[in-house]
Amino acid sequence: MTALLLAQLIKEAGFPAGVVNVVCGSGPDCGKPLALHPDVDKVAFTGSSAVGRKIVKYSGESNLKKCTLELGGKSPLIICDDADLKLAAGAAFIGLFLNHGQCCCASSRIFVDSKIYDKFAAMMVEKAKGITMGTEEGKFQGPQVDVIQFNKILEYISSGKEEGAKCILGGNRAGDKGYYIEPTIFTNVTDDMKIAKEEIFGPVMQLLKFDTIQEAIDRANSTSYGLASGVCSQDIAKAMGIAKRLQAGTVWVNSYNDFDAALPFGGYKESGWGRDKSEYALENYMEVKTVQFPIINYH
């Protein structure tokens, strides 16, 4: 619906016909033909890593069109023992629950120093209890995008419970109408659990405990994704030291999900190729050409 509204505004603004087109359809009916078409020189895709691989495959099967890919994530947020806990709780809240958890860079692995773990978990529960649900203006959390995603999230919640994580908030469907899921928080999460390894894309928070900064960094980087990350600390030198060692395209310090059109956004590893936004994004749509003239004509 957003894309259609944007197309309407583009038309009202007076763009020449054909400059911007919105084509509606499913992946097989719409995305695949575009990715395979020899007259398409460039594809920019935002979505899952699985579909990103298909687009690269289709590029190889056609005209080797350039691809930029903004794909999935399992992004870590490290809460140090010297963090401003109120500020850190706010960052974790927005990082995970924004857009009902349907955010590719969601802070879905929150590593908390063991010295403040219980206190931080209690703060997150109280903050998440205040979430209002519905589609009316002023409500914070709406329904999941469709029934497929709705069922997938509930399966992840069941998996977390079965593997030994402790559900301290939510964990169920909200109400009996619509694809609403209760804001959910898990503690006692370990790195080998399914909910700690796979992208859930829903309002399900995982709190993991760590004892040393090096341990937190190693575990944060122990993933095939590298889209975004965060660190909360009142020691700027410590925060910068951690940020430099995190394998992610974006590192937020004492915040999360802060965006600016001037700042490049994109991922390491299986989180994608290239960058959106900023002047770096323009490079994705350009080709370098060399035109050379001889200084001396030897003929």
Query: Tens-of-pLDDT digits for all 299 residues of the chain?
Result: 889 999 999 999 999 999 999 999 988 999 999 999 999 999 999 999 999 999 999 999 999 999 999 999 999 999 999 999 999 999 999 999 999 999 999 999 999 999 999 999 999 999 999 999 999 999 999 999 999 999 999 999 999 999 999 999 999 999 999 999 999 999 999 999 999 999 999 999 999 999 999 999 999 999 999 999 999 999 999 999 999 999 999 999 999 999 999 999 999 999 999 999 999 999 999 999 999 988 877 66
Is 144 part of any domain?
Answer: yes
Asked if residue 201 belongs to a domain, the reply is yes
Structural domain contains residue 101: yes
**How far apart (Å, rounded) are the C-alpha atoms in residues 249 and 264?**
8
pTM of the model: 0.93
109/217 same-domain check: yes
pLDDT at 100: 95
Query: How many structural domains is the chain composed of?
Result: 2
Q: Is residue 43 part of a domain?
A: yes
Predicted confidence at residue 239, as pLDDT, reads: 98
Same structural domain for residues 61 and 134?
Answer: no
Same domain, 95 and 210: yes
Which residues, other chains included, contact 179 with Cβ-Cβ below 8 Å and sequence gap of 6+? 143, 144, 145, 146, 147, 149, 150
Please give the structure tokens belonging to residue 58. 């289709």
Residues 138, 203, single domain; the answer is: yes
Positive/negative CA dihedral, 161, 163, 166, 167: negative
- HSE-CB at 173 with a 13 A cutoff on CA atoms is 12
Helix H or strand E encompassing 75:
none
Q: Mark whether 86 and 217 lie in a shared domain.
A: yes
For residues 208 and 84, membership in a common domain is answered with yes
39 and 109 belong to one structural domain: no
133 found inside a domain: yes
Looking at the structure, tell me whether residues 15 and 150 fall in a common domain: no
CATH at 239:
3.40.309.10
Residues 106, 235: one domain? yes
The catalytic residue among 67, 80, 104, 105 is: 104
Let me know if 70 is a catalytic residue. yes
89 part of a folded domain: yes
pLDDT at 299: 67
| 165 and 31 share one domain | no
Is residue 104 part of the annotated active site? The answer reads: yes
- Identify whether 297 is part of a domain: no
From CA 35, how far away is CA 43, in angstroms rounded?
7
Both 162 and 276 in one domain: the answer is: no
* Domain extent for 242: 76-253
Whether residue 260 is contained in a domain is answered as no
- Same domain, yes or no, for 206 and 277? no
